Amino acid sequence: MNRPALADLPDCPSLPAQLEQFIAPALAACAHEQVATLDARLLRQLVTAGLDRLPLPGHGETLARWQALAAVAAHDLSLAKLYEAHTDALAILAEAGHARPARSIWGVWCAQGRPGSLGMRTPAAEEHVLLDGEKPWCSGAASVTHALLSHRDDAGQTWLLALELGQRGVEIIEDDWAAVGMSATRTARLRLHNASAQRVGGPGFYLDRPGFWQGGIGIAACWHGAAAALVALLREQLAQRADPHALARLGSAECALSTSAATLRESAARIDAFPGENAMRHALRSRLIVERACTQIISDLGAALGPHPYCGQRRSARLLADLPVWLRQSHAERDLAALATSCLQEESAPCLL
C-alpha cells in the first residue's frame, strides 16, 4: 500500500485555536458524571471535522503537532488521551504505509498483559491472524472503531496488529478501572475469541521505527498542556493578591513550565532535523523533565491556593485528578537509569551551551 504523503494532509492554520473553540464550551458546561460520554462524542466530532489530521512527526512541523495535543490536554486529559492515541495511530499507519479505513477512529493499546494471556494464530494461506485471550489497558475501547495492538509471540517477536472492534469475537469489559483520575477514558480490557487482525509492518516494527520515541514525546506534550492550564489558573488567582509566599510559588511554577516548554521545543527541532535517528535519549529526557515540571506545578498550585483548585472549579479539579494518573505512564527511576545509561554510552561530555 502507498504511504500517505504529507502533501495529502489538509492545512491546519491556528489548529490549537480551532481545537479550543471546538471543545472548550462543551467541556465547560459538562457535569463530571457526563464527561466520558462527552469526550467520546467530541472525539468523533474532531475526526469528522478533520481536526485529527495533524502534521506527521519528523516532517518539519513536529512542534505544531505537539501544540495541538497540548491544546486539547489543557481542557481535558481524558479527551487528550483518546485524541493523542488516535492521532498517534494515524502516524503509525502512515509510517507503515498501511491504509486507514474511511471515518475510522483508532486506539493504540500496547501495554503487555500477563504472559500467555493473548494468543495469536495464523491460518494456512491467510494474510490475517486470529487472536484469542485478553488484552488489558484499552483506553477508549467503547469510543473507537479500530485499534493497534502489540503482541509478543512464542518466539519473542513483537508484532503490531490492526483490529476492527465491531466484529464478532470482540468483547469489551469495563470492570477494572478503580481510579477517579482518567476515568472518562473508560479504560477496559478486551476479551477476544477468533478475532481477526491484520499485521502492520514486520516483526519488531512498532518498537524499532523512529516514530516510537517521537510519539512518546507527544504524550509529554499532553502533560505540558495540562500543566500550562494549571499555571494559567494560578496566575489568574494571584493577579490581585499581594501574598509573597503564594507569589513565590507562582515564580516556581513559571520556571518549571518554561523549562518544560523549552525542552519540548528543542526536541521537536531535533526530530525535524534528524527524523530517522533513534530518539530514545531525547524522549526519555523530555518526558522526565516535563514530568518533573508537572509534579512541581501541582505542588505549587496547592501550596498557593489551598483546596480551591481541587474542589472549586470543574476544569482544574479534573486536571488535578487526571494528571497524576497519566504521569505514571512514566517509569520514574527506571527511565532515569535508562537515560543515564544512554548518556554514558553515547555522550562524551555533558551538554554545553
pLDDT digits (tens, 9 = 90+) for 186-235: 999 999 999 999 999 999 999 999 999 999 999 999 999 999 999 999 99
CA–CA distance, 100 with 108 (Å, rounded to integer): 14
Look up the CATH number of domain 207-346.
1.20.140.10
| Whole-Å CA distances, 263 to 73, 154, 288, 319 | 18, 39, 10, 22
Least confident stretch, 36-50, 280-294, 333-347: 333-347
Residue 313, all three cell numbers: 472549579
Indicate the domain borders of the chain.
Answer: 6-104, 107-203, 207-346
Burial 191-208 (b: 16+ CB within 10 A, else e): ebeebbbebbbebebbee
CA–CA distance, 125 with 187 (Å, rounded to integer): 35
Q: Is the pLDDT of residue 13 over 90?
A: no
44-73 pLDDT, tens digit each? 999 999 999 999 999 999 999 999 999 999
CA–CA distance, 295 with 258 (Å, rounded to integer): 14
CA–CA distance, 235 with 211 (Å, rounded to integer): 36
Same fold flag, 107-203 and 207-346: no
* CATH architecture under which domain 107-203 falls: Beta Barrel (2.40)
259-297 pLDDT, tens digit each? 999 999 999 999 999 999 999 999 999 999 999 999 999
